[in-house]
Structure 1
């Protein structure tokens, strides 16, 4: 992948040796940096493994060649590390944030999240970014001295600010955590966190086009009118007029990723040259994102999203499947709330005797942690029937 040459460590990069630390102090002596340890802890977490069986757009039974939450996450990691390296940032921090960004996603993609948020409307709502924070600070129970993964301040900050500063009413998990740790919710996050966020956009734009083409939801001829995409298609057709479809789709995605990464690197360098931030905190205080697309590419990227919304995310085939999947989440939530004996023993013990709102939050934790196939198995167990997700 052609990316403009990597820079030495930038003065405005996050530095593991200057981290604001962890909620629970730990002894040193590890040969790894703090951010490398964070990334490794996420990789070894249960929540990370479960991403393998959570929907990206197509449910896992649709076929082995479509993206899951896990494969999407790994693609985000690759893009984030490429950008971070070119900009002289801490690659391990960008990787940790890319690895963590979807840990809180419930089964069945955004359909599952919408339904779970509606179920939790009177109990503080549900937001998958906030749930990712809850996973790494409370729900992963692997260590004898604390709940969660005890990640660095900079990772918690980046998870919370995946979409920028937190303004207005805070998601429940963020509001609760803010009582324990000041994450500068008013500011932009580190440059590494901004890299992970834009890598998420790049990865899902490109792989959703790829999956949509392979699934036959639309054809390459429909993409020729899109800025950036149309030019890439023309270039491929000119050089390889008889290329087979599978190779064509791969080459389109490869060229798009390269173009988007190179644009982010060039535009971010341009902004840095103007702002001249002295250190990582100067990035946080700028009042605007430092990492981003140029205006022309930003417009092209928005056009890709605008195309995917009706042609893929709202395609009748996808909508039918996701509506049925949403019913699974809704029915499971209602059943668990009405009859806590329906919960597995360890989860039943954690909700017994709790007030209604606290019970609902724990049930949301349980549901959000389920994979697609586990949710379907639970549905079959509790309702003695299986929904048809086709």
Structure 2
């Protein structure tokens, strides 16, 4: 592994203030927590629409839970003798916390509906993808510095780089064309047909070059290899060790905490649960076996079901806690098969096969009974259409409708660029502006423009 001093470098050199005793990763975490992008997560949809209830999770509370699970995974590795040989490569608590807290800051309003909408609008100009936007906010957009965003350390940037390849290398334009009805209104399409490739943006190549600056070139080539896919977009193959810990924490949280929300709000009934597991009950039982090595609490399908559908909230919470703990103590570290020499690029954290099977079962029931619920999909579509129409208005006459501060950025976006790149650069500014909106801000902005009885010249959005 390259020495830690190099991984603590920032794109813009910033010396510590006098008397500051924090580590560089403490500074990363502090900057993230105090950033506007992080605060906005409190008003961005996780799964269910904001305003439906004050109970369920937003992007902010989800990110906090991911950070807690991420720290739990690292603590498990640190305190388990069987992972002792990996201790020198593990992230410290401030670093993994910062990576996990930051993982969703690039997501636009209205969840994946907003992501699909912005990618649809930007598909000929570099696309849009939430994880790519996270990297962009950290490295360029946030107002902590003039041009370098939060100016994080290289290792933090590596930890949030989930997909180490640019849009142009992964996109399959034919995938978009094959699934578009030319006679439909411009805002009407099947969401699946306009999903973006998982990538970073071409114009953020300088951030990625900075991340990999001191890594062996052969390692970088192996790590950034692309997997071909004839009918869809191409995809990347590997994530860094820190990123796999964050991604695993995210997957665990998504599977279990969204399940908890759905159960508490009555979106999954015991009848639906039992019908779903009718043919899979034996799989569930096989997973929870007495494990003296890890001291796993014994639980079968029947007892988990009884706890999850208890009328007492603390009993449900105990069941969710049991499942989270089960997964954390069944995380392992393995070689990822990339052939890289540097341990940060060659190692991955993953669940054991049994634990992953359980996580997948729970994730699938949330997806089938909650995410695909027609009411959830209708709300997502409404947000999708709203974002597209907002984009169309702002892109058609930006000098008329953009807020003054954003208009300045829009005007400067073409500096030092060839004429053929001007349109894409200015559309990216509009895309950044909309992506940074909360659900509520986007709705009010839309109403001010489109709804006759809404808005006033004295409004301050």
TM-score by length of 1: 0.83
Of the three residues 27, 35, 38, the one matched with 2:15 is 27
RMSD: 3.0
Aligned counterparts of 1:26 and 1:242: Cα–Cα separation in 2: 52
Greater displacement, 27-36 / 112-121: 27-36
Q: Is the 8 A contact 2:135 2:200 kept in 1?
A: no
SS of the equivalent of 1:123 reads coil
Matches within 5 A, 1:109-124: 109-124=111-126
1:153 is matched with 154
1:234 is matched with 302
Of the three residues 393, 398, 410, the one matched with 1:335 is 393
2:355 is matched with 297
Aligned counterparts of 2:120 and 2:145: Cα–Cα separation in 1: 33
> Following TM superposition, by how much is the alpha carbon of 1:141 offset from its aligned partner in structure 2, in angstroms?
1.6
1:356 is matched with 423
What whole-Å deviation, never above 9, does each CA across 1:20-52 have from its counterpart, x for those lacking one?
Answer: 511122224631111111111100111000000
Aligned counterparts of 1:305 and 1:236: Cα–Cα separation in 2: 16
> Which has the larger helix fraction?
1
What whole-Å deviation, never above 9, does each CA across 1:341-381 have from its counterpart, x for those lacking one?
Answer: 21111112222374221111001100110000000000110
Aligned counterparts of 1:110 and 1:370: Cα–Cα separation in 2: 14
Q: Is the 8 A contact 1:17 1:34 kept in 2?
A: no
2:36 is matched with 46
What whole-Å deviation, never above 9, does each CA across 1:57-111 have from its counterpart, x for those lacking one?
Answer: 1121111101100000000000000111121231221111101111100001111
Matches within 5 A, 1:194-233: 194-224=244-274, 225=277, 227-228=283-284
Greater displacement, 38-47 / 135-144: 135-144
Q: Is the 8 A contact 2:256 2:363 kept in 1?
A: no
> Following TM superposition, by how much is the alpha carbon of 1:171 offset from its aligned partner in structure 2, in angstroms?
3.2
SS of the equivalent of 1:62 reads coil
Aligned length: 361
Aligned counterparts of 1:242 and 1:82: Cα–Cα separation in 2: 26
Of the three residues 292, 308, 314, the one matched with 1:247 is 314
Greater displacement, 376-385 / 180-189: 180-189
Q: Higher RCO, 1 or 2 (CA under 8 Å, sep at least 6)?
A: 1
- Consecutive unaligned residues of structure 1, counting only runs of 5 or more, are 1-11
Residues 312 and 53 of structure 1: CA distance in aligned 2, closer, same or farther (over 3 Å) = same
Residues 155 and 385 of structure 1: CA distance in aligned 2, closer, same or farther (over 3 Å) = farther
1:65 is matched with 55
> Following TM superposition, by how much is the alpha carbon of 1:281 offset from its aligned partner in structure 2, in angstroms?
6.3
2:296 is matched with none
Aligned counterparts of 1:154 and 1:232: Cα–Cα separation in 2: 41
SS of the equivalent of 2:105 reads coil
Residues 263 and 150 of structure 1: CA distance in aligned 2, closer, same or farther (over 3 Å) = same
> Following TM superposition, by how much is the alpha carbon of 1:339 offset from its aligned partner in structure 2, in angstroms?
1.6
Of the three residues 279, 284, 301, the one matched with 2:344 is 284
Structure whose alpha-carbon radius of gyration is higher: 2
Q: Is the 8 A contact 1:113 1:127 kept in 2?
A: yes
Of the three residues 95, 99, 108, the one matched with 1:106 is 108
Residues 310 and 237 of structure 1: CA distance in aligned 2, closer, same or farther (over 3 Å) = closer
SS of the equivalent of 1:290 reads strand
- Consecutive unaligned residues of structure 2, counting only runs of 5 or more, are 79-89, 171-198, 213-219, 224-237, 289-298, 415-421, 455-461
What whole-Å deviation, never above 9, does each CA across 1:161-204 have from its counterpart, x for those lacking one?
Answer: x25x5484353257533575243475244433221110000011
Of the three residues 97, 101, 114, the one matched with 2:99 is 97
Greater displacement, 372-381 / 27-36: 27-36
1:379 is matched with 446
Aligned counterparts of 2:309 and 2:97: Cα–Cα separation in 1: 38
Aligned counterparts of 1:173 and 1:195: Cα–Cα separation in 2: 26
1:55 is matched with 45
Aligned counterparts of 1:338 and 1:147: Cα–Cα separation in 2: 29
TM-score by length of 2: 0.71
Aligned counterparts of 1:156 and 1:232: Cα–Cα separation in 2: 41
SS of the equivalent of 1:181 reads helix
